[in-house]
Amino acid sequence: MSEIRPILLVEDSPRDLELTLTALEKCQLANEIIVARDGAEAVDYLFCSGAHEGRSDGDPSVVLLDLKLPKIDGLEVLERVKKDSKLRHIPVVMLTSSREEQDLVTSYELGVNAFVVKPVEFSQFLKAIQDLGVFWALLNEPPPGYRGHGSN
């Protein structure tokens, strides 16, 4: 049985954060949800720096990443993750309200695994988050032998 790794949710909107957490809770996933409220906090968590220096909970099973973030935007977070040899295997799902074609194109050029536009209707939003959570946290298989760089 594979180890249960956390989900990193990077979201600055209090409303979207609450909705996403509610949807993930309804999935009844065993994964801990780590919340970063800006890009700098996400980078610190992923690279085990700043407030997260020395953390030992392993890499997340997936990063749910908002595009428009304070401090460091989602595209820069994505670029840093996908350029790092220890982190590039982590699935990153861009979860955004942006419908800009250039955001979509740039995200895929930088290596995003999926790009999901947040539905405006609440029930659609819940369904989209639940489907994402189940797929990336339960169904997706990490590379063979992978444990995450923060784990022992």
**pLDDT tens digits, 55-100:** 887 899 899 999 999 999 999 999 999 999 999 999 999 988 888 8
Token reading at 65: 């990443």
pTM: 0.84
Do β-strands 62-65 and 33-36 pair in parallel, antiparallel, or remain unpaired? unpaired
Of these ranges, 59-68, 113-122, 136-145, the one predicted with the greatest mean pLDDT is 59-68
Average pLDDT, the chain: 85
Whole-number Å distance between alpha carbons of 3 and 58: 10
Q: Which domains does the chain have, with CATH numbers?
A: 7-139 (3.40.50.2300)
Q: Any idea which residue has 């979509």 for tokens?
A: 104
Q: How many CB atoms lie within 10 A of CB 123?
A: 8
| pLDDT interval class at 105 (50, 70, 90) | very high
pLDDT of res. 1: 43
